Amino acid sequence: MAQLRLKRNIQHSTYDFITAKFDAQWTGINVVLTWEDAMQAEKPVVCILLESTESKGKELGSNNLFETHLIILDIYAKSRGQAMDLADYIKNEIKNGYVYNLYSHPPGSFESLDATPDGRVKTLKFLRDESIDFGDNTDERDKWRHTIAYTVRVT
């Protein structure tokens, strides 16, 4: 079995957590991992992106890194109210962190991923939770858009 690396494990762990929450309490919410998929899926859509990683040395004399990851959640809603409701719901669910999984797949096939719990994704700080207004010439896709940006660490 081939293994995914840290960043993809974080992104997929986030995807699995948010998808499970929506499946249990909402209907019709599409959760995706790329902007391309977000543009194709029917609204409402939540797009999960691991945007960047900041690495610092853990301790003097060691090559171990202390990594903080920035996750962006872009919400494409059908109305301003729905965008705000989805943002509040997501933020409330992720604030206490969630299971970090190691993912593996058969060589050459990404159709199915096997998940093995291996720690926690700890939510550190919310950096943004805001509506995005592109003005009067907004594409219909971006009309009721909202973004949440937060940092995490695997523990």
What pLDDT is attached to residue 19? 98
What value does the mean pLDDT take over residues 28-40?
Answer: 95
- Residue 108, pLDDT score: 73
Structure tokens at 25: 């309490």
List phi, psi (to 5°) of 54.
-105, 125
- Residue 108 identity (one-letter amino acid): G
Residue 51 domain boundaries: 2-154
pTM of this prediction?
Answer: 0.91
The structural domain count of the chain equals 1
Q: How far is residue 2's CA from residue 61's CA, in Å, rounded to a whole number?
A: 32
User: What is the CATH classification number for the domain harbouring 81?
Assistant: 3.30.2000.30
- Mean pLDDT computed over 134-153: 85
User: 47-61, pLDDT tens digit by residue?
Assistant: 999 999 887 766 777
C-alpha angle 85/93/66, rounded to 5°?
Answer: 125
